[in-house]
Amino acid sequence: MQKGPLHFYFDFSSPYSYIASEWVDAVAARHGRRVQWHAILLGVTFQVAELKPQIEHPLKRDYAFRDFARSAAFAGLPYQQPARFPIATQNAARVFWWLHETQGAAAAVAWARAGLRAYFTRGVSLDDPAQLKALAAESGLDADAAEQAWSDPVWKDKLKTVNSAAIAAGVFGAPYFLIDGEAFWGNDRQAQIERWLATGPFKGLV
């Protein structure tokens, strides 16, 4: 029987999404799964869940910045805290869905990787139209077509639909993972995800 995909929800402005994006395909592949990537807007899920970003909590702020960098280093990844953080990511996400629907999942995932790496290792501000166009060109895309896509009501609507579907599926943060209906939230659930893929529900879990 074909195993279902591992659903991976991410936001282009989420440091832990960046870290998870670098391991999720390999972990899934080790267990015969493909990954279905979903670009979402964390701000929308936060509103629904009555949450706010970690760095807006006074005591948590310094810790959060330290943990972003430390968790990336722990994973062996380059990381540079963007000066502008967090940023609006709807344009980057619309380009993701435009690529997904017109060129296929692989093209969309390549764009996701390019965006996350550009923002979290080089500080490329994905909310700045000029920088986003330059990144699109650098990534081998038609930059004008990308700009048209993120301004197009079709892709604005697509992103809204995707966000609503994510919220309906229980997604309240990023990165968020769904494996056969089992939800895992956070880059720090990597070890649990890996074991779940290998063995299914843990012994003793009802």
- Is the Cβ–Cβ distance between 75 and 115 less than 8 Å? no
Q: Residue written as tokens 């995800």? A: 193
Strand 176-179 with 6-10, pairing:
antiparallel
Amino acid (one-letter) located at 127:
D
For a copy of itself, the closer CB: 46 or 147: 46
Strand 35-39 with 6-10, pairing:
parallel
Q: Find the part of the chain contacting a copy of itself (CB under 8 A) among 22-30, 60-68, 119-127, 138-146.
A: 60-68
Which residue in the set 14, 45, 89, 90 belongs to the binding site for a copy of itself (CB under 8 A)? Answer: 45
Residues 169-188, interacting with a copy of itself (CB under 8 A): 170, 172, 183, 185-186, 188
Angle, alpha carbons 83-77-187 (nearest 5°): 85
Which listed residue (13, 14, 71, 139) is catalytic?
Answer: 14
The sheet that has 182-185: what strands, in order across it? 35-39, 6-10, 176-179, 182-185
Q: Under the criterion CB under 8 A, does residue 62 sit at the interface with a copy of itself?
A: yes
- Is the Cβ–Cβ distance between 10 and 174 less than 8 Å? yes
Q: Name the DSSP letter for residue 184.
A: E
Task: Give the nearest distance from C-beta 49 to a copy of itself in angstroms.
Answer: 4
Task: Give the nearest distance from C-beta 145 to a copy of itself in angstroms.
Answer: 36
Amino acid (one-letter) located at 55:
I
Q: Under the criterion CB under 8 A, does residue 198 sit at the interface with a copy of itself?
A: no
Task: Give the nearest distance from C-beta 25 to a copy of itself in angstroms.
Answer: 21
Whether 164 is catalytic is no
Q: Under the criterion CB under 8 A, does residue 79 sit at the interface with a copy of itself?
A: yes
Residues 4-43, interacting with a copy of itself (CB under 8 A): none
Q: Under the criterion CB under 8 A, does residue 83 sit at the interface with a copy of itself?
A: no
Angle, alpha carbons 61-87-146 (nearest 5°): 160
- Is the Cβ–Cβ distance between 20 and 10 less than 8 Å? yes
Residues that bind a copy of itself (CB under 8 A): 45, 48-51, 57-60, 62-63, 66-67, 69-74, 76, 78-79, 167, 170, 172, 183, 185-186, 188-189, 191-192, 195, 202-206
Active site residues: 14
